[in-house]
């Protein structure tokens, strides 16, 4: 069996950085993926899907330091569903991508941000598609 997700999308907001009681960093952010197609009547239809991303440890540190709203990223990970009871006793659940890899697909300069900490550009043969 395989549980593997690959996404390319843009961050909807700056990452949220938090720490567990034992000082492990966890970063959460959402990315949007777009798709467009023509429906049966020939009209162009655009659809945006939002994905919750969770990142732990060293990769979380990199995401927290280098990613910002609008960043174009490649995310690799697996689907994870969490369930809990809310304050009113209702069952709640959320499905998220637990990231194991991330690549920035453009420089901070092209995002309109501060480029003083830009990573080296990706070589053409290193892009996963």
E runs forming strands in the chain: 5-11, 16-19, 25-38, 44-56, 72-85, 91-104
In DSSP terms, 45 is beta-bridged to: 37
Query: pTM for this one?
Result: 0.77
DSSP state letter for 124:
G
Q: What is the pLDDT of residue 110?
A: 55
Q: What is the H or E stretch that residue 16 is in?
A: strand 16-19
The per-residue pLDDT string of the chain (129 residues; one tens digit each, 9 = 90 and over) reads 999 999 999 999 999 999 999 999 999 999 999 999 999 999 999 999 999 999 999 999 999 999 999 999 999 999 999 999 999 999 999 999 999 999 999 876 555 555 444 444 545 555 454
- Please state, as a whole number, how many other Cβ atoms lie within 10 Å of the Cβ of residue 31: 22
């Amino acid at each position: 069996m395989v549980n593997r997700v690959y996404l390319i999308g843009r961050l909807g907001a700056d990452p949220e950085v938090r720490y567990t009681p034992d000082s492990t960093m966890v970063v959460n952010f959402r990315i949007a993926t777009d798709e467009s197609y023509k429906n049966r009547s020939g009209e162009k239809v655009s659809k945006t899907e939002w994905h919750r991303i969770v990142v732990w440890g060293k990769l979380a540190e990199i995401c927290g330091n280098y990613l910002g709203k609008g960043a174009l990223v490649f995310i690799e990970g697996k689907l994870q569903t969490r369930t809990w009871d809310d304050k009113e006793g209702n069952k709640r659940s959320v499905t998220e991508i637990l990231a194991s890899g991330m690549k920035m697909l453009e420089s901070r300069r092209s995002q309109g941000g501060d480029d003083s900490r830009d990573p080296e550009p990706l070589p053409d043969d290193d892009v996963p598609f």
